Chains A and B, each alone.
Chain A
């Protein structure tokens, strides 16, 4: 703070740097090790450099159903993203006014965040069993993921609407815009960067979700379930190759979303 740094700055800065190393160090290690040579094992030293383990990943017999589970997780992630953005946005609009049951719905959303994932998974699995339905990733799995992504979406919408000035809407209304036109041409464009943020949470949380998928994915695994299965019976660096690929996908999505937000901000600032 201020022109001169307080005495606490450097110890805290060093602590922060160590925290970042703690966060990213292991991730970097497995990316390096995924290029392990054909003779190499799960730990250092590197015995040569190869892309053999990545090639291995795409031979179906080696690691179960990587391609299928990858595709399912991507599809599910996209569906969850769209639903999370739409439902959170609608609920965000609703919570700006009073409506019957608003308090109950708010606490329910918070509960959805706090109730242990394994309970949600177990409950949905049991419910489908009692109803005589087969759980599947696109039905029970989708519902389970939404109970995890929607609370994040709604809390972000709360934060966004808290800072959103109603003057824009009033101006639109004064100029004769219908409620739908106001949302479509005024509210949505202004909030687009935040909605991209909500979408980012929707996709990444669904794409990586394990506990809530466990009893709800049905007979076809999503990617995290497949990876978990591999940890018990795969003892080659192919595990790291898989980690590198999925983390790469996550980083791609994060990069695209954040890039989109920065681009929108810049364009807006430029007028």
Chain B
């Protein structure tokens, strides 16, 4: 009886913070998305013009398409890299001590600044950067490549650099829980390493793959900093479109875009959960 009340009390701070700084703000966005506005102020009215303007503009569709494309490419690369890294850590590093150390080596960059990690590609990818110097040096190219920095290539590279960890951690987490006797049994039954990987490890790592995929896709869909910095202003993203509308004080337009983005992200997550039922597999 008292324990029920104390549990409620213990959960109250978390509930209050998330209520005040997640639920109410998102409700605010939804409400504001129906407001009207002119160049100087918000007009309290209920209109659909924000959505009409947004959805009828070809720029919106182009931007969503580009953002989806970034998300798809980043997802595929992060999945391949993250899976390989997690598989190595979980199945090929024997000592638990070494496993912890190498896992931390992968995690530490996550605790440092994203903006700095993006900036740190400049000396490497720039026109006079290390990569161009090296390629010219060995005679592979005559003139420095221009597309390395400030391009879609740089954007995807930075995404993988920043977010591959979101794939490594959940997949690793799923893999260390796999009962080793299942792997042994498959080996004893004559399965090759590939067959073990394909028929035992991958199916059992699916929850981790799904969680990693959701994190990577969600974070890329909402990104604007990486696109802005790494494309040098040449590429667009939905997040960037929203931030630009905010800087022009077009709050209702930004809010309408935010609602559409939220719906798109939630639909994508729902689709991923349909492929893998996390609750059933946990």
Measured CB to CB, the residues of A under 8 A from B are 1-2, 5-9, 12-13, 15-16, 19-20, 22-27, 29-30, 33, 42-44, 86-88, 90-91, 93-95, 97-102, 105, 108-109, 111-120, 122-127, 129-130, 143-144, 146-147, 150, 154, 179, 200-201, 204-205, 207-208, 210-211, 214-215, 224, 227-228, 231, 239-240, 242-243, 246-247, 250-251, 253-254, 258
Contacts and interface: CB of A to CB of B under 8 A. Distances in A.
Contacts of A117: 219, 222
Interface in B185-239: 193, 214-215, 218-219, 221-225, 229, 239
Given A224-B113, A243-B116, 11 more contacts: A27-B117, A29-B124, A30-B116, A87-B13, A98-B4, A108-B23, A109-B18, A116-B221, A126-B255, A211-B225, A250-B111
Contact of B112 (A2, A211, A242, A251): A251
A123 B14 contact: no
Contact of A15 (B20, B32, B85, B223): B85
B224 to A, nearest CB: 6
Contacts of A123: 22, 24-26, 28-29, 258
B92 interface: yes
B15 interface: yes
3 closest cross-chain pairs (CB), A and B: A116-B222, A123-B25, A143-B21
A114 B130 contact: no
Contact of A122 (B6, B24, B29): B29
Is chain B's binding surface mostly helix, strand, loop or mixed? Answer: helix
Given A26-B117, A246-B116, A16 B22 contact: no
Interface residues of B, number: 81
Contact of B126 (A7, A42, A90, A101): A42
B68 interface: no
Nearest to A96: B7
A13 to B, nearest CB: 7
Given A91-B11, A99-B11, A147 B114 contact: no
B251 interface: yes
B133 A118 contact: no
Contact of B88 (A13, A29, A120, A207): A13
Q: In the complex, which of the residues B18, B24, B246 has the most CB atoms of chain A within 10 Å of its own CB atom? A: B18
B85 A127 contact: no
A119 B161 CA distance: 23
Given A116-B219, A116-B222, A227 B11 contact: no
Contacts of B26: 115, 119-120, 123
Contacts of B115: 208, 210, 224, 227-228, 231
17 contacts: A6-B193, A15-B84, A16-B89, A16-B102, A19-B106, A30-B123, A91-B11, A93-B10, A94-B8, A101-B11, A115-B22, A116-B218, A118-B223, A118-B243, A123-B25, A150-B18, A228-B229
Contacts of B10: 90-91, 93-94
Given A98-B7, A109-B14, A126-B28, A1 B222 contact: no
